[in-house]
A and B are shown apart, each in its own frame.
Chain A
Amino acid sequence: MISEKKIEKQIRLSDLQKGDEAHIEGFEDDEGSLVRLRDMGLHDGISLRVIKFAPLGDPIEIKTRGFYLSIRKSLANRILIKKNNGIK
């Protein structure tokens, strides 16, 4: 488990820009919708890419493991990520 302080300083999925690539480092908590994302295939370590933002700015469309997911920013805000540095 990541310590409290470290969680605060972590980058979130909602901080990313269009086109950014990152991989998941953890989730802020164990709430149902986050667990569901895990079930859908978004678990620790997997890579993702931010495809675009919806016309009104929210939600975010990401691509991971070959499928596309639309996530609200409020949820993306609880997903801790680490940017990939240009490595696919």
Chain B
Amino acid sequence: MTNKFNNCETCPVHQSTYLKKLGVNMDKWDYALALAGNPNTGKSTVFNALTGLRQHTGNWPGKTVTRAEGGFIYQEKRYKIVDLPGTYSLLSTSTDEEVARNFILFGKPDVTVIVIDATRIERNLNLTLQILEITDRIVICLNLMDEAGRHQLRIDERILSKELGVPVIPTSARKGEGIDELLRAIHEVANGLYVCKPHHILSGSKSLKRAVSQLVEKIENRFSGISNARWIALRLLEGDPRIIEAVKKGELDNLYQKIENTETR
């Protein structure tokens, strides 16, 4: 195991500063989890299953419109979990997905749990692959397995896990199935017992890899403590005007502040 404790990124103090800025109170918790995924994948059901809470879950896309928070204790560690509204992509500009996007991008949770609809894997992978570019502490919850069964689909989660480089846990959250395994996987990733090797897009392109690492070095130097330099680098290389503006105005830091002000609902 490498020196976890010298690395700023894994220090609990470091984590909680970002989270506090997003209004997540980490005073009584050890780890923060983000629950992300497309709309209508049963995220809220997973949330309820993990926390034992009873947030209402409705069957229309966009039902969860605020950020629900809850917590649980597993193996004597206290986990705070934030249920984000569903989003289709981190690159789109629609405002009802901003909450989720900003948290995933700038919140740096300890583990991001991505909930995928087993009957719509290809479509769900869009967001998943994007998130894999940002963080490497991910657990995939392959939910709605009962629906997949109803539609006569068989999913090989081991191959999926191999392809994505992160743990994949099949669940049927509304039936309570698979939750124990999910908790275990979350625990292992959070505590560094399982190290992910997330799939990266265009990983075959050497020139991209070189370009990204060059840029990342510079970005991390200029904006110390930034949590997702790789994502910013990719956006800059793409020529994303919003990010370019933000860098020009030195506003990358402000992106964190802005979130703090829009989160309180």
Question: Residues on A close to B: CB < 8 A?
Answer: 32, 35-36, 38-41, 65-67
Extra 13 A-B pairs, beta carbons < 8 Å, given A35-B91, A41-B123: A35-B93, A36-B88, A36-B92, A36-B94, A39-B88, A39-B89, A39-B92, A40-B88, A65-B120, A65-B122, A65-B123, A66-B123, A67-B120
Is B119 close to A, CB under 8 A?
yes
Cα–Cα, bound, A45→B17 (Å): 44
Q: Is B261 an interface residue (CB 8 A)?
A: no
Cβ-closest chain B residue relative to A43: B126
What distance in Å separates the Cβ of A35 from its nearest Cβ neighbour in chain B? 6
* B120 CB contact (under 8 Å) in A35, A36, A38, A66: A66
Q: A38 vs B91: C-alpha distance in the bound complex, in angstroms?
A: 11
Q: Per-residue CB proximity of B98-123 to A under 8 Å, as 1/0?
A: 00000000000000000000011011
Interface size bracket, B side = 10 to 19
**Chain B residues near A40 (CB, 8 Å)?**
88, 123
Q: Closest CB-CB distance, B94 to chain A, in whole Å?
A: 6
Contact B92 A67 (CB under 8 A): no
Check if A35 sits within 8 Å of B126, measured CB to CB: no
Measured CA separation A57–B89 after assembly (Å): 30
Q: Considering residues B93, B120, B123, which has the most beta carbons from chain A within 10 angstroms of its beta carbon? A: B123
How many interface contacts (CB-CB < 8 Å) are there between A and B? 29
- Bound-complex Cα distance A35 to B89 (A): 10
Q: List 20 A-B contacts (CB under 8 A).
A: A32-B94, A35-B91, A35-B92, A35-B93, A36-B88, A36-B92, A36-B94, A39-B89, A39-B91, A39-B92, A39-B126, A40-B88, A40-B123, A41-B122, A41-B123, A41-B126, A65-B122, A66-B120, A66-B123, A67-B120
Distance to closest chain B CB from A76 (angstroms):
18
Q: What residues of A have a CB within 8 angstroms of the CB of B119 in the complex?
A: 66
Chain B, 45-98, CB within 8 A of any chain A CB: 88-89, 91-94
Distance, CA A41 to CA B92, complexed state (A): 13
Residue of B nearest to A66 (CB): B120
**Contact: A32 with B123, CB < 8 Å?**
no
Are B120's CB and A32's CB within 8 A?
no
- How many Å from the CB of B32 to the closest CB on chain A? 26
Distance in angstroms between the alpha carbons of A24 and B62 in the assembled complex: 26
- CB-based nearest A residue for B88: A39
Could you say which residues of chain B place their CB within 8 Å of the CB of A36?
Answer: 88, 92, 94
Bound-state Cα–Cα, A36 to B123, Å: 13
> Do A32 and B122 touch across chains, with their CB atoms under 8 A apart?
no
Task: Across the interface, name the chain B residue whose C-beta is closest to A33.
Answer: B94
Per the bound structure, the CA–CA distance linking A66 and B74 in Å amounts to: 37
Minimum CB–CB distance for A46 against chain B, Å = 10
Q: How far is the CB of B147 from chain A (nearest CB, A)?
A: 11
| Across the A-B interface, the 4 shortest Cβ-Cβ residue pairs | A39-B89, A39-B88, A41-B123, A39-B92
Residue from the list B88, B93, B126 in contact with A32, Cβ < 8 A: B93
**Chain B residues near A39 (CB, 8 Å)?**
88-89, 91-92, 126
Give complex CA distance A42, B55 in Å. Answer: 31
Q: How far is the CA of A35 from the CA of B93 in the complex (A)?
A: 9
User: In the complex, which residues of chain A have a beta carbon less than 8 angstroms from the beta carbon of B91?
Assistant: 35, 39
- Please indicate the chain B residues that have their CB under 8 angstroms from the CB of A32 in the complex: 92-94
| B120 proximity list for chain A (CB < 8 A) | 65-67
